[in-house]
Amino acid sequence: MEVVHISDSAGIPDSEDGAGIWEGGQAIWNYARRLPFEGYTVPVVPLEIQLESNIRRNRTERVEAILRVFKDRGYNETLLQKALSNDSRRIMEASENGRNFIL
């Protein structure tokens, strides 16, 4: 588990129709899930949105870890389509791992 606080999207584009859903953007709050943990309720960013954020950050190891979870446990295809930016979608389509089971 990793706990972070992102206070400002720093002007990064964020939308459900092409720009992608950024974990620090405004659209995230429509999708954050609240889960119980150690007596607290913690907002959690869905992996579909974390995938977009990690592609943007060029965090290959995290992208690959998320793709493994998707392969093993499935994913919300509708949310994934909204979460990925057009640029990230092209990256995934060109990627060996992404091409195997996403998009």
Over residues 8-61, the pLDDT tens digits come to 555 566 666 677 887 777 778 888 889 999 999 988 889 999 999 899 888 999
The amino acid at residue 47 is L
Structural domain range at position 48: 27-101
pTM above 0.75, yes or no: yes
Task: Count structural domains, the chain.
Answer: 1
Structural domain contains residue 52: yes
For range 60-67, the mean pLDDT: 92
Q: What is the pLDDT of residue 62?
A: 93
Q: What is the pLDDT of residue 103?
A: 47
Nearest to 16 by CA among 7, 29, 2: 29
Structural domain contains residue 16: no
